[in-house]
Amino acid sequence: MILLTGEYDGYGKQCARVMVGGTSFLVDRSPLHLLDDTLTHIGYDLRGAMASAKLILGERSRCPIIVNPYLGICLFPNKSPHNADCIWFNPEHIVRTIAVGSKTKVELSNRHSIIVDSRLAFFNNRIHNANQLLQTAMKRGNHPGPITFYLEPKTTHLLTKETTGKYNFTHLEDN
């Protein structure tokens, strides 16, 4: 997937326009619902993906999210995800960015380009944040931290229920 954006259908309902390769198609879900559905399909959710991104990157607005950790797919919004014209970009499919006045021309891997209402430095910072999130998450997934081993102690005393109905924990206090 190259990008995802909102688009209203002929009935005024917000749908998601998805660009994959050289084609695009309309999905009868809003972009945020489509992202949540996609994440839920693999056992995650949009709220958790956003919260995790904010924890990893620090408190930021318009955080990128990892849409599929197994395939290493990360998307970032060019503006608030609640805006109908927000575009979610996959940084893997951005070939080049060029300043066009106060806007940015984004050249995509499918040889198409799109001009977005973002300054070049701001947009490039979004790409950097998305790549940083993906790199950190992948590193943590492959090397989750120190491995802890638990050695079971030898059983020395069996805890049993006494005739009073209580377990004999008082025996442990004697040790």
Yes or no: say if 118 and 79 are a contact pair by the CB < 8 Å rule.
yes
pLDDT at 87: 97
Question: Is residue 161 one of the residues assigned to a domain?
Answer: no
Percentage above 70 pLDDT, the chain: 88
Whether 165 is covered by a domain: the verdict is no
Q: Which domain holds residue 76?
A: 3-142
In a domain, residue 39? The reply is yes
Determine, yes or no, domain membership for 150.
no
Nearest C-alpha neighbor of 62 from the set 83, 45, 42, 48:
83
Q: Is 21 left (phi over 0), alpha (psi -120 to 50) or beta?
A: left
Q: What is the mean pLDDT of the chain?
A: 88
For residue 168, pLDDT over 90 is answered with no
pLDDT at 135: 92
Contact 48, 66 (CB under 8 A): no
> Which of 25-29, 40-44, 122-126 has the least mean pLDDT?
40-44
In a domain, 81, yes or no: yes
Give me the torsion for CA of 117, 61, 33, 2, rounded to 10°. 50
Query: Mean per-residue pLDDT for 134-148?
Result: 75
Answer whether 54's CB lies under 8 Å from 63's CB.
yes
At 46-88, the pLDDT tens digits run 999 999 999 999 877 889 999 988 888 999 999 999 998 999 9
Quote the pLDDT of residue 132: 94
Q: Are 95 and 109 in contact (CB under 8 A)?
A: yes
What would the mean pLDDT of 140-149 be, rounded to a whole number? 64
Distance in angstroms (rounded) separating the CA atoms of residues 113 and 60: 27
- Name the band, by pLDDT with cuts 50, 70 and 90, for residue 165: confident
For the chain, the domain total comes to 1
Does residue 155 fall inside a structural domain? no
pLDDT for the residue 143: 62
The yes-or-no verdict on residue 126 having pLDDT over 80 is yes
Q: How is residue 142 annotated by DSSP?
A: H
pLDDT surpassing 80 at residue 148: no
pLDDT of residue 26: 95
The Cα–Cα gap between 108 and 93 comes to 6
Burial-class residue 105 by CB neighbours within 10 Å (0-12, 13-18, 19+): middle
Is residue 171 in a domain?
no
Q: What is the pLDDT of residue 162?
A: 81
The token pair at 36 is: 């949540």
Residue 4 pLDDT > 60: yes
In a domain, 162, yes or no: no
Least confident of 13-22, 49-58, 89-98, 159-168: 159-168
